[in-house]
Structure 1
Amino acid sequence: MNIEAFSRCKYRAVDRQGDDVPFILPGIAIGLFDGATDAKGTLINSTPAGRMAALNAAECVAQLLAPTENRKLPARELVNKLSTLYAKSFEKHSVSPLPATTLALAIDCGENWRFFCLGDSGIRINGSEILRHTKLIDDVSTFARVALFRDQSKRLPDLDSAEMAARRAIFLGFDDAVEKGIMGRELADNIITKTIVGLSLQNEGAIVRDFLTAGICMQYRFANEVGNSLCYDVLADGTPQIGDWVDAWRPKEDVQTIEVFSDGYAKLPDNPTVAAWEAAFEESDRQDFHRISEYATVKGGTEDEFFDDRTVVIIQCPRIQPT
Structure 2
Amino acid sequence: MQHMEAFSLGKKFSAPGANEDSLVIMPNRGYAVIDGVTDRNGTSYDGMLSGQFASRVVQGAIEKFILAQGDASQPELQFAGGQHFVDYLGRAIRARYVANGVLDAVTADWKLRGGCTVMATLIIGDQLEVVAVGDSGLRINGNDVLQVLKPLDDVTAIMRRETWRYFEALGRSTADCDRLSALITWQGTRHQPSGAETADAGVIAEIESRSLAACKAHLPNVPVAEIETLVHGGICYGQGDFQNVTDKVLGYGGLDGFAVPERYVETRSYALADIDTIELFSDGYFKLGEGFGVAAWEQGFRDVEAEDLHKIGRYMSTKGTTDIALTDDRTYMGVRLK
Shared topology, TM-score over 0.5? yes
Tell me the percent identity: 24
Q: Could you say what secondary structure the match of 1:66 adopts? A: helix
Q: Secondary structure at the match of 1:106?
A: strand
- CA contact 2:117–2:134 (8 Å) conserved in 1: yes
Residue aligning to 2:117: 102
Of 133, 158, 161, the match for 2:148: 133
Q: 1:95-117, CA deviations, whole angstroms, 9 ceiling, x for partnerless residues?
A: 42321100011111121111221
**Number of residues paired by the alignment?**
318
Q: Which residue of 1 aligns with 2:302?
A: 282
Q: Deviations over 1:179-205 (max 9, x none)?
A: 432252312321342144223357621
The verdict on how the C-alpha distance between 1:178 and 1:185 changes in structure 2, with shifts beyond 3 A counting, is farther
Structure 1 equivalent of residue 229 of structure 2? 210
Query: Is residue 116 of structure 2 the alignment partner of residue 86 of structure 1?
Result: no
**Structure 1 portions without partners, runs of 5+:** none
Residues 225-274 of structure 1: CA deviation (Å, up to 9, x unaligned): 12111211110142111522321111111111111000000011111111
Give the TM-score, by structure 1 length.
Answer: 0.91
Deviates more, 1:44-53 or 1:89-98: 89-98
Return 5+ residue gaps in structure 2 as ranges.
71-76
Quick one: distance in 2 between partners of 1:191 and 1:177? 17
**Paired residue for 2:198?**
182
Report deviation, 1:26.
2.3
State the alpha-carbon separation in 2 of the partners of residues 15 and 134 from structure 1. 26
The DSSP-based 3-state class of the residue aligned with 2:241 is helix
Q: Which residue number corresponds to residue 182 of structure 2?
A: 167
Which shifted more, 250-259 or 43-52? Answer: 43-52
Partner residue in 2 for 1:149: 164
CA distance in 1, matches of 2:174, 2:21: 26
Q: Deviations over 1:149-175 (max 9, x none)?
A: 111222353213212211221112111
Counterpart mapping for 1:211-230 below 5 A: 211-218=230-237, 219-230=239-250
CA contact (8 A) 1:126 1:257 kept: yes
Does residue 1:261 correspond to 2:270, yes or no?
A: no
Query: Among 193, 217, 242, which residue is 1:198 paired with?
Result: 217
* 1:272 has 2:292 as partner: yes
SS in 1 for 2:197: coil
Q: Which residue of 1 aligns with 2:49?
A: 48
Does the aligned pair in 1 maintain the 2:180–2:198 contact within 8 Å?
Answer: yes
Decide which of 129, 132, 141 is 1:117's aligned counterpart. Answer: 132
The equivalent of 1:245 in structure 2 is 265
Task: Provide the secondary structure at the position in 1 that maps to 2:91.
Answer: helix
Match of 1:31 in 2: 32
Distance in 2, matches of 1:10 and 1:293, equals 20
Task: Provide the rounded CA distance (Å) in 1 between the counterparts of 2:245 and 2:299.
Answer: 38
